[in-house]
Amino acid sequence: MNAIMWMGVAGIVGTAVSPWVTERLRSKNARRDQLVKLRLAIYAELLRATAALAATATTRASHPAGDQEGIGGYELDCLVSQAQVVASKDVYRQLDELSHLTESFNQHLVRAGSRPVFPHRQHLHDGAVHDPLRVRHRRTLTDIAGGITAAHGKIQDAIRHEMNR
């Protein structure tokens, strides 16, 4: 076969394959764009929730009460599950750290909270709010709340780093 014939065959094959290659690349780019939009939506919601979580932790650490429920909860769990699917490893690792801190905070919140006192036994509990054990639990709560705020900042940095790549 001569060179002209090979050029003709290559032209025919190129013309036949070109729409397939173009469609494949367009489809791949569309999927990538869709994933980036989904990540942005989840990350925006996640940052809103973690900022609220950090603020709530700081507030409750300074005034623990026995009747307060824990922080985090269902909304944060849902966001973490969604992020597990689309987030980068670094963002998910920071979320995992935040989840552990939240769990630890909730455990200490129960220990630091004030206990109900019956009126006829009030004289035995005067000053019990400032007993050394509760003060230690409040300090621990404050430390964990600071860790939660730092974890929020780390999540923010990880998301920023991922989006700027």
28 found inside a domain: no
Which comes out higher in pLDDT, residue 138 or 54? 54
26 found inside a domain: no
pLDDT of residue 138: 81
- Domain range for residue 125? 43-163
pLDDT digits (tens, 9 = 90+) for 155-165: 999 999 988 87
Report the mean per-residue pLDDT for the chain: 80
pLDDT digits (tens, 9 = 90+) for 91-107: 999 999 999 999 999 88
34 found inside a domain: no
pLDDT digits (tens, 9 = 90+) for 105-145: 988 887 766 555 555 555 455 555 556 777 787 888 899 99
* Mean pLDDT value across residues 13-20: 74
23 found inside a domain: no
Q: What is the DSSP string of 26-85?
A: HHHHHHHHHHHHHHHHHHHHHHHHHHHHHHHHHHHHHS--TTPPPSS-HHHHHHHHHHHH
81 found inside a domain: yes
In the chain, how many domains are there? 1
pLDDT level of residue 148 (50, 70, 90 thresholds): very high
12 found inside a domain: no
Contact between residue 109 and residue 124 where contact means Cβ atoms under 8 Å apart: no
* Mean pLDDT value across residues 63-79: 77
